[in-house]
Structure 1
Amino acid sequence: MNRRQFLALAALSGLASACGSSAESDPAAFRTRLQVPPLLEPKVDKDGTRRFALTMQRGRSEILAGKPVETWGFNGPYLGPTIRAARGDRVRMTVTNRLDEASTVHWHGMRLPAKMDGGPHQTIEPGATWNPHWTIDQPAATSWYHPHPHGQTAKHVYRGLAGMFIIDDGTTAELPARYGIDDIPLILQDKKLTEDGLPIGDPLKGTFGILGDHMLVNGTHAPFLNVRTERVRFRILNGSNARMYHLTFADRRTFHVVGNDAGLLPAPVQVDQVSLTPGERVEVVVTFTAGEQVLLRTISGSDDIDEGDFDLLKIVAEPRLAASPRLPSRLADPAPIVIPPNAKVRRFRLNGHDAINGKEMDMARIDEVVPAGATEIWEIENTVYAHNFHIHEVAFQVLDVDGEKPPAYASGHKDTVYVPPKSTVRLAVRFGHFTDPATPYMYHCHILRHEDSGMMGQFVIVPPGTENQVPRMITAHHM
């Protein structure tokens, strides 16, 4: 990566802290065992459909020892269980809302019909249950689920409603794959904590909204993890509202990126640092030596907001480690997203923190109409400070950032991308084949304060040739 690319990726690190350096810089402070979210066991119907049950509920959690605070979670007080399914599985979700306000559950990174997507149109009222269902048909990937209520996403995610959704497809046999042993999820979040608990304040206040000074991994503050194998695969999710993480190890060891948001890379990429904006995921494989200890941390970059370095997780290798297979030289064979000669180019301008192309989000307005199966170029122009951009349903590859190629580790299939200040990012976007002219998908900034303030638009996917027949206004919200 050249200096310009690094600075572009680092620019959002102003989101990294509002309070300066980590209070947990002493490795001895990491005394709480890392909580690994349990796998959610499905019930299997006679026809093979796998049924997963989630309940959104209030609870209390000791984020800081001896100081319980009110939190929200799925099937528990904070965060949610990990869902794991395979390509070809028929899945049916039972999502029950036990909160006292309406919410939704969006399957971030999932290729599925718009009515099952869980965006702001699929509202679940208090006491109600939603039952989306679909057949999983996409490559192995680390996805996640979280609320997506219009204007309230920042608050609901910040309180703890999030979980991982892992997809298998049989291509990863040579990678570590024993969940909780050598295949570990890491959900990264930051919180503001006071003596009074977990204050929300106004999640739409300030340029970026909520920025915390306490780091959590899987809901655990100052955690440690014992590893028992030579190599460990970490599935890392930036589950924060606004923070960007520049992840590295205290000893600057190298490790390998094996997957982006939407699937595995063709081959491992060796790095000593990776950057993640909110909503992005990365899969990495790290090699350890028996008896060693090392800190995973995030380091600051440069921007016009306060910076900070934070230690996230202490990793302790057992005195004897089980042997791990060598990292394969080839991982997957993702179909390249080839741009046809006549590809449509759509342009999106991110204005301030509350508009795209000069328009705030309108639940009744269809902004774009896309033919099923299309491959298009989307140009995302950022006119001001840091943003990122997430598109529901699709997979895309980053063509360039201000004319320069992305770093090799970020060259795979993705669904969320960082858009540095005053830059333009071009994407090769491949759309699916689920058509519904009346039910939209979303595209938006995944800095949740910006999303909730109106930096979001809607598109529908329709049969090719019918684009001009689609009304640009919808009269009812769809469940």
Structure 2
Amino acid sequence: MPRLKRVLIVTVTVVAVLATVLGAAATWLYAGADVSTAGTRFSRALVIPPLAEPTVAADGTKVFDLTMQSGRKEFAAGKKSTTWGFNGAHLGPTLRAQRGDKVKVRIKNTLDERSTVHWHGMHLPARMDGGPHQMVAPGATWTPEWTVDQPAASLWYHPHPHGKTAQHVQRGLAGMFLLDDDVSAPLALPKTYGVDDLPVMVQDVTLDGGKLDFDRRLLRNTGFLGERTMVNGTLDPYRRVSDELIRLRLLNASTARIYDFGFSDDRPFSMIATDGGLREEPLRLDRLKLSPGERAEIVVRMEPGERAVLRSFPHEGYGSSWQRRFAGGDDTFDILELRADKTLRPSPELPSALAEPEVPDGSDSVRERYFGLVTSSINGREMKMDRIDLTVTRGTAETWTVRNEHGTPHNFHVHDVQFRILEIDGRQPPPELRGAKDTVYVPPNTTVKLAMRFDGPADPNTPYMYHCHLLYHEDLGMMGQFVVVEKGQKAGTVGAPDSHTGH
């Protein structure tokens, strides 16, 4: 009995010590997991990506050239990082086209590995979509072409290789693709690119000795979360402005981080567009949450000589406090400083009416589908390149119910279409989510209902993707694929991805 008593005492002591150590470690990890760059000294002029100048073919097609290449970029003084970019060392030019334009993009891959270019938010044939089935081999050229047939919007382009999307985007392969149309042209909106109409591609980064470091830290189950942010590849950026109203085309180009945008002085701004284009009317806000891949256009009013800091604030929507802390919800980032000149050009007031979204309202849906999101799978299945998960009929509308079935944040992106959010947990979505969308944030244990129409063209052998746009999750297999077919037609066979070699 004395021996047993000693064993019990030792056991209880060891367990207590282990519990104390583990508790102290958890407390230490939790206490050090949040990040703040509030009070940033903005020291670098914001780089505005150049507008790509297309050539015009005899039939009127606008032809753009993009070269995927490696390079070296100095993010911090005296320290250069190896990066990738389009037509340069890092990121890419802004492409621009009008509704009705025929466009062609000649994409040359000079990297030492295969990649691809996906036109995020674009309505176009599946074989031109740039998903994981349209790979471009090293030394090869791929030339997708299509006719732009959708409203004015702020879209973007980025790689989509299965299993490596996050890595390729982090290295710098991304750019914006702006669309114009006859509805937006006469509206009194800020529209001089780089002057009162600014692209704002926000990415988070970590610098190790001045070089980019994309290691995923302990307990970061949403993916990589950086310690700083940059805009258009510029750290600590400021922009001098000379107009009373400034339009910011916000793009969350990060791979996992969710931002809650606002201004450090809580000034209001007007939201004028969602992922898929202009809202019906401007919406007055002081906060706007965007998950990876989402876009929004906002207009802010400036006073002569003042400075306004675009900030990402701590925010809810992560489930538990533990998940919020380790998924970045407690973090604060000063992102961009606007510096107004002492004299500003007058800007007309924003119009009270903008544009009608061209998305279905669910009343004509012919089918409902369910998508259960769990890290690395959708409806319990990981992505398989040779498996078609869904077949949809061209010209029909459907309602998709998407539920985050566990405690990790996710979002949901559908290729080719713009959708309308009908409900969030059975309730009408907030005003900022009532426009045309192609990506939606789905917090833990939350259900969203989406209405979308599939206008084709039909292609039973070439799929589009749907997936979580927290790219670490996508790369783990949280993705599926669907084909669009004519009525009565069956899905074909999807094989291994093509490696384009010069068509």
Q: Which residue of 1 aligns with 2:71?
A: 59
Distance (Å, rounded) in 1 between the aligned partners of 2:59 and 2:218:
46
Q: Which residue of 2 aligns with 1:443?
A: 466
Alignment pair present for 1:228 and 2:242:
yes
Distance (Å, rounded) in 2 between the aligned partners of 1:187 and 1:360:
30
Provide the secondary structure at the position in 2 that maps to 1:110. coil
Q: Which residue of 1 aligns with 2:115?
A: 103
**Equivalent residue for 1:376, pick from 391, 398, 405:** 398
Distance (Å, rounded) in 1 between the aligned partners of 2:145 and 2:64:
10
**Equivalent residue for 1:188, pick from 193, 198, 202:** 202
TM-score, structure 2 as length reference: 0.88
**Equivalent residue for 2:357, pick from 334, 344, 355:** 334
The change in CA–CA distance for 1:161 and 1:433 in structure 2 (over 3 A counts) is same
**Equivalent residue for 1:470, pick from 459, 484, 491:** 491
Q: How many matched pairs?
A: 457
- Indicate if the aligned counterparts of 2:358 and 2:436 stay in contact, CA closer than 8 A: no
The change in CA–CA distance for 1:284 and 1:156 in structure 2 (over 3 A counts) is same
Provide the secondary structure at the position in 2 that maps to 1:123. strand
Alignment pair present for 1:298 and 2:312:
yes
Provide the secondary structure at the position in 1 that maps to 2:411. strand
After superposition, the CA RMSD in angstroms is 1.7
Amino acid at match of 2:448: V
The 5 A counterparts of 1:204-353 are 206-302=220-316, 303=318, 304-306=323-325, 307-340=330-363, 343-351=366-374, 353=375
Q: Which residue of 1 aligns with 2:381?
A: 359
Amino acid at match of 2:447: T
- Give the CA deviation at 1:196: 6.2
Distance (Å, rounded) in 2 between the aligned partners of 1:420 and 1:316:
35
Question: Larger radius of gyration, structure 1 or 2?
Answer: 2
Distance (Å, rounded) in 1 between the aligned partners of 2:358 and 2:216:
43
- Indicate if the aligned counterparts of 1:379 and 1:424 stay in contact, CA closer than 8 A: yes
Provide the secondary structure at the position in 1 that maps to 2:92. coil
Amino acid at match of 1:251: D
- Indicate if the aligned counterparts of 2:307 and 2:340 stay in contact, CA closer than 8 A: yes
Distance (Å, rounded) in 2 between the aligned partners of 1:144 and 1:158:
15
The change in CA–CA distance for 1:382 and 1:242 in structure 2 (over 3 A counts) is same
Residue by residue, what CA displacement relative to the aligned partner does 1:393-431 show, whole Å, maximum 9, x if unpaired?
A: 011011111112221122000000001101111001122
Distance (Å, rounded) in 2 between the aligned partners of 1:205 and 1:19:
10
- Give the CA deviation at 1:53: 0.3
Provide the secondary structure at the position in 2 that maps to 1:265. strand
- Give the CA deviation at 1:203: 9.6
- Indicate if the aligned counterparts of 2:402 and 2:447 stay in contact, CA closer than 8 A: yes
Amino acid at match of 2:112: D
TM-score, structure 1 as length reference: 0.93
**Equivalent residue for 1:460, pick from 475, 483, 489:** 483
- Give the CA deviation at 1:334: 2.4
- Give the CA deviation at 1:204: 12
Residue by residue, what CA displacement relative to the aligned partner does 1:225-280 show, whole Å, maximum 9, x if unpaired?
A: 11100101110100000000000001111111100001110110110110000000
Distance (Å, rounded) in 1 between the aligned partners of 2:218 and 2:384:
18
Which segment drifts farther, 339-348 or 398-407? 339-348
What residue ranges of structure 2 are gaps of 5+ in the alignment? 1-30
**Equivalent residue for 2:457, pick from 427, 434, 437:** 434
Provide the secondary structure at the position in 2 that maps to 1:343. strand
Distance (Å, rounded) in 1 between the aligned partners of 2:248 and 2:496:
42
**Equivalent residue for 2:148, pick from 107, 113, 136:** 136
Q: Which residue of 2 aligns with 1:8?
A: none
Provide the secondary structure at the position in 1 that maps to 2:131. coil
